[in-house]
Amino acid sequence: MKQFPIALQLYSVREDLEQDFEGTLKKVKALGYDGVEFAGLYGKAPAEIKALCEKHGLTPISAHVPFVDMMADPDKVLGDYAAIGCRFVAIPYLTEEYRPGTDGFQKTIEGARLLGETAKKLGMQLLYHNHDFEFVKIDGKYALDVLYDTVPADLLQTEIDTCWVNVGGENPAAYVRKYTGRAPIVHLKDFFLSGKKPDQMYELIGIESEKKEEEEKTFEFRPLGKGLQDFPAILAASEEAGAQWVVVEQDAPSMDKTPMECAEISIQYLKTLIR
């Protein structure tokens, strides 16, 4: 098995970052992570964040940046992440008006092309990070595949979130392998599901919905190795697909563990597979 460098999506420890940004980076490195993927800069300047990553020996590989924020000022927003040293920047999530099944999905496709061109100009690569709502079909083809088929690979590459592929009804390893040569970063995320998936799925990742009725808890994110995912198969597929990095992400802690404890469990499990 390839000895992938391992990054942590910092959204996983967002509350820790709010309380102690540098101290959290130091802890992430101490757990054995090689790099980080940002989800916000917490009011800090790009130069400061670049210096902190260098100080603590973390590679700033990527960032999740809201689509509307990037579209509002592509050169400035993407330029900040280029200044930090990120090689990749990802569209992380689509609000409802930009999703497949709406007129706004065409704006997403056009925007991805524009942002991909801007990223390329800055020496970066644009990625798309999926959830499960892209696994609806447009003329017999998944919307996620429509996006990748429409925007050229040099402008848009994949950041397959293996949890959401599974929730969307597809095999994560097979889906990573499908995009061989276009999958530089693979998101490793575990989960547990008993029964049907809840209607309010995205409240689990901090996205509020109008529906407030209590639902039976049937889904939760888990540290790697504590859920339903077949990570040996996913890692083998990632190696075949030419992935450069794997990224651990856990949107919400579980099992009565803190976010940092979950991050530790995940990397300890990963090390048994790839190191």
Whether residue 105 is predicted with pLDDT greater than 80 in this model: the reply is yes
Give residue 198's pLDDT: 54
Give pLDDT tens digits for 195-236.
Answer: 766 555 554 454 454 554 445 578 999 999 999 999 999 999
Instruction: Please say whether the beta carbons of 262 and 224 come within 8 A.
Output: no
Which residues have a Cβ under 8 Å from the Cβ of 165 and sit 6 or more positions away? Answer: 130, 132, 135, 171, 172, 175
Query: Does residue 264 sit in helix, strand or coil?
Result: helix
Work out the mean pLDDT of the chain and round it to a whole number: 93
Give pLDDT tens digits for 140-183.
Answer: 999 999 999 999 999 999 999 999 999 999 999 999 999 999 99
Give residue 204's pLDDT: 46
Domains of the chain (ranges; CATH) run: 6-189+228-274 (3.20.20.150)
Give residue 203's pLDDT: 47
Give residue 218's pLDDT: 85
Whether residue 242 is predicted with pLDDT greater than 90 in this model: the reply is yes
Q: How many Å separate Cα 110 from the centre of its chain?
A: 21
Give residue 194's pLDDT: 85
- Taking residues 104-119, report their average pLDDT: 98
Give residue 208's pLDDT: 53
CA 169 vs CA 17, 67, 136: distances in Å: 33, 25, 10
Burial class (CB in 10 A: 0-12, 13-18, 19+), 123: exposed
What's this model's pTM, rounded to 2 decimal places? 0.93
* DSSP-assigned beta bridge partners for residue 127: 90, 157
Whether residue 23 is predicted with pLDDT greater than 80 in this model: the reply is yes
Query: Does residue 198 sit in helix, strand or coil?
Result: coil
Give residue 154's pLDDT: 98
Q: Which two tokens stand for residue 43?
A: 């009011």
- Taking residues 79-104, report their average pLDDT: 97
CA 32 vs CA 85, 146, 157, 271: distances in Å: 20, 37, 27, 9
- Taking residues 43-68, report their average pLDDT: 98
Q: Percentage of the chain surpassing pLDDT 90? A: 89
